[in-house]
Amino acid sequence: MNDITVGQYYPVDSPMHRLDPRTKLKGVFLYVMGLFFVNNLYGYGIAFILLCVCVACSKVPISYVLRSLKPILMVIVFTSIINLVWTQGNVVWQMGFIKITDSGISLAANMAARLVLIITGSSLLTLTTTTVALTDGIEMLLRKVPLLSKVSHEIGMMMSIALSFIPTLTEELDRIVKAQKSRGADFESGNIAARAKAMIPILVPLFVSAIQRASELAMAMESRCYTGGTNRTRMKELKYRPADHLSMTCLVAALAACYFTKALV
Amino acid sequence: MKTMIRLEAASFSYDEADSSKTALDDINLEFCEGEFIGIAGHNGSGKSTLAKLLNGLLLPTKGDVTVLGMNTKNENEIKEIRRNVGMVFQNPDNQMIATIVEEDVAFGPENLGKPPYEIRDTVDESLALVGMAEYKDKRPSQLSGGQKQRIAIAGVLAMKPKCIIFDESTAMLDPQGRKELLDTMHRLNAEEGVTIIHITHYMEELITASRIIALNEGKVAFDKTPRDAFSDLSALSPLNLAAPEVVQIADGLKIAGFPIEGTALSCEELVEAIWQLKQSL
């Protein structure tokens, strides 16, 4: 209970881990966007090789990276079947009322490849970036987004406080559940409605304590001179290094290559 | 000695409509630089309210609180006041802001807008001062209560304060954690010259204080040295405060007909007093 980690950070030292979180965030964003423009085998080939290079640079074991696909495996299988069966086109194979068309096959393959690449690509971000670095990176990037620049500090602060309170609140939840059980509360039996109702005596104290904690934390922050984001400095400042510029250039080049494979077909 | 904090006819009421229901009533006190002040009182005596008046977390409804000559009502100086008067709270979990120990310690100087390299130095220094340097990369949830409170102290020390208020900071700790925290307080007081204001209802923690201020029903009940305070136990009982064990034993002996000289505050002093009594018999 004490060692709960958010995300799935894999602690090793690698070129990928050392990249600036902003580079990685921007990279994943561009990669995901880029994948939506790819529509042929060559494009997917390049995107796949790019991902393989990134995984190799991250020193994260392949089995670890693939584990992130497990929760959405069903989604991939399900969407593939739907695409396969429901798409109109030239019929390739037919059995009873089930028709499989050529465009169905290509759509299903496209979607599956896209989902697999997107999920593995973005999980590589959380595997190689600590939550602290991630929230810092998001805060810094939001500064440049027009509507959000004024509240970027607040959003970053909220995210990092939320993350730091997860272990405390999990412990608290555990304590409340035990306390209610010891007084005879029953969470396991009954239908869904009864079980949902049994959650109320857990959620109410949890919320009350969370609010009390928040008010105490606000007091502690104020007494440590917190007055919001203006004139605030950071101990660890994010700095782009040559490696960041280099990897960003490589990424853009690879994605451009992906895009121009369209001309090949 | 230079005055650190001064309260002049300060009153505070949580009920804005009815100011006669006061949590603190007409308090006049003066805390000097380098002192180790104990503030004692039972639940609801107003001791936590007093603590929050001292660094401007609450403003007095009547009267004034001044820190190094700056009035807490002056909004322009509130940051400087809070930099000088740090505060460590009761629940260690509710004062950790960051997910990593050193980031948490850096929170104060970051708010003061110090340059990064300077923050790095003060953070390392502050962690070393509380003996937690090797824990700088840990998550707060991996630490014990006493260690978390020491991190909280480091977070305050990183702002280079002249005074630290401990608002019942020992209340949620086990005996080991309490001892660690008290040792740290005394070391900071003796070696770094930091003024300590320790709020507690454990009287044994105040034996070594330079002054004990007892609060009752929002008023100052007494303001004495520990020796004077514990020489008359009848003054403590109406305040619902229990005297330290050693003092109680000495008092019991006196009642049982053994006239022990003076007020013993430590085990050694009591042994000495009993020895002298035995020799004179």
DSSP A116-165: HHHHHHHHHHHHHS-HHHHHHHHHHHHTTSTTTGGGHHHHHHHHHHHHHH
Q: What is the mean pLDDT of residues A27-37?
A: 91
Distance from CA of B37 to the nearest CA of A (A): 20
Query: Which residues of chain B does A224 touch, with a Cβ-Cβ cutoff of 8 Å?
Result: 82, 86, 97, 107-108, 111, 155-156, 159
The answer to whether the CB atoms of B103 and A216 lie below 8 A apart is no
- Residues in a beta bridge with B164: B86, B196
Distance from CA of B86 to the nearest CA of A (A): 7
Tell whether the model's pLDDT for residue A98 goes beyond 90.
no
B87, B178: one domain: yes
B201, B255: one domain: no
Question: What DSSP letter does each residue of A78-99 carry, written as one string?
Answer: HHHHHHHHH--S-EEEEETTEE
B182, B264: one domain: no
For residue B162, the domain's CATH number is 3.40.50.300
Distance CA B141, CA A165 (A): 9
CB B81 within 8 A of CB B57: no
Distance CA B143, CA B134 (A): 12
The answer to whether the CB atoms of B120 and A3 lie below 8 A apart is no
Domain residue limits, chain A: 15-129+238-264, 153-223
Distance CA B95, CA A219 (A): 8
B137, B56: one domain: yes
Q: What is residue B163's predicted lDDT score, i.e. its pLDDT?
A: 95
Report how far Cα B114 is from the mean position of its chain's Cα atoms.
28
Average pLDDT, chain A: 86
Distance CA A56, CA A53 (A): 5
Query: Which residues of chain B does A9 touch, with a Cβ-Cβ cutoff of 8 Å?
Result: none
- The B62-67 sheet, strands edge to edge: B24-32, B3-12, B62-67, B70-71
The answer to whether the CB atoms of A235 and B106 lie below 8 A apart is yes
- If pLDDT is split at 50, 70 and 90, which confidence band does B202 have? confident
Q: What is residue A6's predicted lDDT score, i.e. its pLDDT?
A: 47
Distance CA A146, CA A50 (A): 31
Tell whether the model's pLDDT for residue B91 goes beyond 60.
yes
- If pLDDT is split at 50, 70 and 90, which confidence band does B114 have? very high
Q: What is residue B89's predicted lDDT score, i.e. its pLDDT?
A: 93
Over the stretch B136-195, which tens digit does the pLDDT of each residue have? Answer: 888 888 899 899 999 999 999 999 999 999 999 998 889 998 998 999 999 999 999 999
Q: Among candidates B143, B13, B6, which has minimal Cα distance to B69?
A: B6
Q: Inform me whether the C-beta atom of residue A63 falls under 8 Å from chain B C-beta atoms.
A: no
- The answer to whether position B158 is within a domain reads yes
pTM: 0.81
Distance CA B93, CA B102 (A): 16
Q: What is the mean pLDDT of residues A217-232?
A: 89
Tell whether the model's pLDDT for residue A40 goes beyond 90.
no
B270, B141: one domain: no
B200, B250: one domain: no
Chain B residue nearest residue A214, CA to CA: B94
The token duo for B220 is 């100052």
CB A127 within 8 A of CB A10: yes
Q: Inform me whether the C-beta atom of residue A239 falls under 8 Å from chain B C-beta atoms.
A: no
Over the stretch A113-170, which tens digit does the pLDDT of each residue have? Answer: 999 999 899 889 888 888 778 888 998 899 888 888 888 888 888 888 888 888 888 8
The answer to whether the CB atoms of B94 and A235 lie below 8 A apart is no
Query: Which residues of chain B does A160 touch, with a Cβ-Cβ cutoff of 8 Å?
Result: 97-99
Chain A residue nearest residue B164, CA to CA: A223
Q: What is residue A1's predicted lDDT score, i.e. its pLDDT?
A: 34
Distance CA A125, CA B280 (A): 80
Distance from CA of A201 to the nearest CA of B (A): 23
Q: What is the mean pLDDT of residues A99-106?
A: 84
What φ, ψ does residue B245 adopt, rounded to 5°? Answer: -55, -50
> Count of residues for chain B?
281
Residue A168: count other Cβ atoms within 10 Å of its Cβ: 18
Residue B79: exposure state from Cβ atoms within 10 A (0-12, 13-18, ≥19): middle
Number of inter-chain CB pairs under 8 A, A vs B: 97
Integer CA distances (angstroms), A211 to A169, A172, A215, in order: 11, 13, 6
- The answer to whether position B273 is within a domain reads yes
Average pLDDT, chain B: 90
Query: Which residues of chain A does B157 touch, with a Cβ-Cβ cutoff of 8 Å?
Result: none
Range of the domain at B34: 3-231
B195, B71: one domain: yes
Higher pLDDT, B262 or A158: A158
Q: What ipTM was estimated for this complex?
A: 0.87
Distance from CA of B139 to the nearest CA of A (A): 9
* Stretch 53-82 of chain B: residues touching chain A, C-beta under 8 Å: 55, 57, 79, 82
Question: What DSSP letter does each residue of chain B carry, written as one string?
Answer: --EEEEEEEEEE-S-SS-TTS-SEEEEEEEEETT-EEEEE--TTSSHHHHHHHHTTSS--SEEEEEETTEETT-GGGHHHHHHHEEEE-S-GGGG--SSSHHHHHHHHHHHTT--HHHHHHHHHHHHHHTT-GGGTTS-GGGS-HHHHHHHHHHHHHTT--SEEEEESTTTTS-HHHHHHHHHHHHHHHHHS--EEEEEES-GGGGTT-SEEEEEETTEEEEEE-HHHHHH-GGGTGGGT-PPPHHHHHHHHHHHTT----S---SHHHHHHHHHHHHHH-
CB B81 within 8 A of CB B107: no
The answer to whether the CB atoms of B99 and A163 lie below 8 A apart is yes
Q: What is the mean pLDDT of residues B208-232?
A: 89
Q: Among candidates B148, B177, B169, B208, which has minimal Cα distance to B89?
A: B169
Residue B37: count other Cβ atoms within 10 Å of its Cβ: 23
- The answer to whether position B37 is within a domain reads yes
A21-35 vs A41-58: helix crossing angle, rounded to 10: 160
Q: What is the mean pLDDT of residues A251-264?
A: 86
The answer to whether the CB atoms of B94 and A213 lie below 8 A apart is yes
Residue B35: count other Cβ atoms within 10 Å of its Cβ: 17
B134, B222: one domain: yes
Report how far Cα A70 is from the mean position of its chain's Cα atoms.
14
Chain B residue nearest residue A169, CA to CA: B93
Q: Among candidates A121, A88, A127, A122, which has minimal Cα distance to A106?
A: A88
B261, B156: one domain: no
B277, B148: one domain: no
Of B57, B93, B155, which is closest to A219 when you measure between CB atoms?
B57
| Lowest-confidence segment of A20-24, B21-25, B118-122 by average pLDDT | B21-25
- The answer to whether position B187 is within a domain reads yes
B209, B109: one domain: yes
B99, B133: one domain: yes
Distance from CA of B216 to the nearest CA of A (A): 24
- If pLDDT is split at 50, 70 and 90, which confidence band does B27 have? very high
Query: Which residues of chain B does A213 touch, with a Cβ-Cβ cutoff of 8 Å?
Result: 91, 93-94
Q: What is residue A7's predicted lDDT score, i.e. its pLDDT?
A: 57
Q: Inform me whether the C-beta atom of residue B38 falls under 8 Å from chain A C-beta atoms.
A: no
Residue B163: exposure state from Cβ atoms within 10 A (0-12, 13-18, ≥19): buried
Distance CA B29, CA B9 (A): 9
| Residue carrying the six token digits 């409170």 | B149
Task: Give alpha helix (H) positions in chain A.
Answer: 15-18, 21-35, 41-58, 62-67, 73-86, 102-128, 131-142, 152-182, 192-223, 242-260
How many domains would you assign to chain B? 2
The answer to whether the CB atoms of B94 and A231 lie below 8 A apart is no
Report how far Cα A62 is from the mean position of its chain's Cα atoms.
18
Distance CA A102, CA A116 (A): 21
CB B96 within 8 A of CB A216: no
Distance from CA of A18 to the nearest CA of B (A): 17
Distance CA A240, CA A81 (A): 44
